Amino acid sequence: MKRYLFVILFIFILCIDSIAQQQLKTAAGASSDTDNTTIDFRNKENNSTEDEDDGYIKRKKKQKKSDVIAWHLSDEYLGFTDTIAVDTAIVNFQNNDPVLRYGIENSYNGNLGSPIQSKIYFDNKENKTDYLFSKNYDLYTITPAEIKFYNTKTPFSLLTYRTGGASYHEEDYLKGLFTFNVNKNLNFGLLANFIYARGTYSNQASKLFNGAFWTVYDSKHYSCNGVIVLNRFNTQENGGIADTRFITDPSAVSGAGISAENIPTNLTNAYNMYRNDIYYYHHKYRIGNDKEIEIAPDSFITEFIPILGISHTIKFEHARRRYYEDNTINTDFYPHNYLNDTFTNDSSSYLSLKNNVAVTLEEAFNTKLKFGVSAYLQHELQRHEVFIDTVPNRTFCNNLKVGGSIFKENGSIFRYNVTGDVVVVGDRIGDFDVNGKFGTNFKIKNDTTMTIFVEAKVNNRKPTYFLRDYISNHFKWRNDLKSTFKSGVGGYIKYPNQYVDFKIGVNFENITRYIYFDTDALPQQHDGNIQVLNVNGNINFHAWKFHLENDIAYQLSSNREVLPLPDVALFSNLYYKDLFFKVLTFQLGVSLRYHTSYYAPTYMPATGQFYNQNTTKIGNYPFMSAYVNCHLKKVRFFVQVHNLLESAIKERNYFSMPNYPLSPLTFRFGLAWAFYD
């Protein structure tokens, strides 16, 4: 409690000081709109107030001194980039949390840093690796595709701290970013995340640390991106609470009224460790021509027009996982012990080395049709390893892939990208992936633009190694699984205006030979087709200083026993926003998360996988929070009350998945501070 009071007092003093400074400036004739200490964050596409177009290159005016430009790799192997916003959002900072950002509703053990799976089918992205045991850590795992690269005139730093929960059971999240330019071509950056979540319930602590170091060089002919990533995750597994009535009906359980941390759990000395290291380097040489462009009468500048690009990418990844129990095995929870009856020490690893060579005809090579073409060749070496009685059992695989892409990434009216590849030699021969994206913008009114986006995909993929063959103390399998074939189409229409912003989307996918974990937590393959339909909408209303944001999804699975999904999930956020003293942005609101009841998958600690169950339904619980969120110059902070309705609702079914309750009513707060000097 003292910690909360100290932070609140610090924020209050900061507010008073900044407001006083602002009033002194105003009294002296200074305007807050011209305050030089305010950061002007701009995207790479929007770093000027005016565009000039010479026919096939958009040219921007010179950056302001305070600009920070950010982008990320949309394709790790071809080097395509997308401009993204710098993390300085003024509103809804309280939702800037890994779990809350992942999806409307998620399955996890209720503690930050634990394995997670979205309850919205299309929010579960493709696996970041071919390592089965990394999938459910993907949310927290940093890869080169997640790195934000920067170009900044002066060093830029961003510190974020979030905490919440009862004393000695807090969830602490600390994030730091530092980046600087040596010159206009060369940038370095460092990112570090630290999570220490002790957990509301016993035996569920998690400790995560990951970080990345990167460098970017971009010159007329040569460019490169180098990234080193380290991921270190440790989680204690409690297997869920032993009796759900401690939450739903405490009076029916012996020992009712005990605090959350004293509720018995299924496991007491079980732990998972996951490690993932990535070393990545992409470089490209461009061949082109210099062209003189007239910017004013008798005034010219020279622009470099790239025509041909030759690139090479190397990516080395080493992931490993260990699950162990200290001399206490719960035979009711784990009915099988294949290797040892007194303790468990399961260990496996995955190694991948990829080399990719690509040739690209840049968009500027064709002055009339304005599109680009790429062709690439990729070789991958994989090593899969499982330890049996400390003896490694290793399997090596080689795969050779060829692919190509036709794209139009520049332009304000429409863009498209069609990419396809096929494995021609190796363990995964016959795997193929074709993906097409198309987007267009057109103005409805002078200040309103409608966006239409459509995507279609077809892929055929062989199951990864550990889905086919695995042995551990509690689980073992050897499966003859066939390739999974997926085809899908989706898209959305987005239309913002003064009073209502809406984004309506539809996604459909057909899955042939879907692989899942059954009620015994073993991998199985469905012999047939499953269709999934998702209709989603973001509808936001604005009236004066009041705002109502709604994110809703309707889902339909053609086979609920194999692929269970909640019919409806929604997030609604009602708030009041105002600006005080011309410097303090104030947001006061309540938010609600909800999904309909269904037989939600639950979690198996020994394999780290989510598996189906048909005995317990969860859902139909309105999870409400109230918050105050403020933005003051370079500082953002919030205070939040989590699970506001815990004591007000009779049906206390606030479970993330069976036997894994979410936190009861708790207080949370967070602070972010940007430094640009």
What is the residue-wise DSSP string for 279-301? EEEEEEEEEEEEEEEEEETTEEE
> What CATH number labels 36-676?
2.40.170.20
Span 134-181, pLDDT tens digits: 999 999 999 999 999 999 989 999 999 999 988 888 999 999 999 999
> Distance between CA 628 and CA 643 in Å, rounded?
15
Span 554-604, pLDDT tens digits: 999 999 999 999 999 999 999 999 999 999 999 999 999 999 999 999 999
pLDDT of 449 reads 87
Res. 536 pLDDT band, cuts 50 70 90: very high
| CA contacts within 13 A on the Cβ side of 174 | 7
- Mean pLDDT calculated for residue range 36-59: 32
Per-residue pLDDT for 489 more than 70?
yes
pLDDT of 80 reads 84
pLDDT of 3 reads 54
Q: Helices (DSSP H) in 356-504: which residue ranges?
A: 465-468
Contacts of 366 (CB under 8 A, 6+ apart): none
pLDDT of 652 reads 85
pLDDT of 174 reads 97
pLDDT of 373 reads 94
Instruction: Judge contact between 302 and 293, C-beta under 8 A.
Output: yes
Quote the longest CA-to-CA distance of the chain: 90
Measure the CA dihedral 9/14/16/17, to 10°. 140
Strands 372-388 and 391-408 turn out to be antiparallel
pLDDT of 302 reads 85
pLDDT of 48 reads 33
Token couple for 346: 């399961």
pLDDT of 558 reads 98
Contacts of 270 (CB under 8 A, 6+ apart): 203, 236, 237, 238, 239, 323, 324, 325, 344, 605, 606
Round to the nearest angstrom and report the end-to-end CA distance of the chain: 34
In percent, the amount of the chain with pLDDT more than 90 equals 72
- Mean pLDDT calculated for residue range 370-398: 93
pLDDT of 254 reads 65
- Mean pLDDT calculated for residue range 385-405: 93
Q: Which residue has the higher pLDDT, 578 or 30?
A: 578
Of 245, 109, 100, which Cα lies nearest the Cα of 657? Answer: 109
Per-residue pLDDT for 470 more than 90?
yes
Measured on CA atoms in the order 243, 249, 255, 256, is the torsion positive or negative?
A: positive
475-486 CB burial, b ≥16 within 10 A, e <16: bebeeebebbbb
Per-residue pLDDT for 32 more than 50?
no
- Mean pLDDT calculated for residue range 432-456: 90
Span 271-313, pLDDT tens digits: 999 999 999 999 999 999 888 887 778 788 888 888 999 999 9
pLDDT of 497 reads 84
Mean predicted lDDT score pLDDT of the chain:
88
pLDDT of 388 reads 85
Of 368, 372, 370, which Cα lies nearest the Cα of 308? Answer: 372
- Mean pLDDT calculated for residue range 513-542: 97
Strands 623-632 and 635-642 turn out to be antiparallel
Per-residue pLDDT for 533 more than 80?
yes
Poorest-confidence range of 299-313, 464-478, 503-517?
A: 299-313
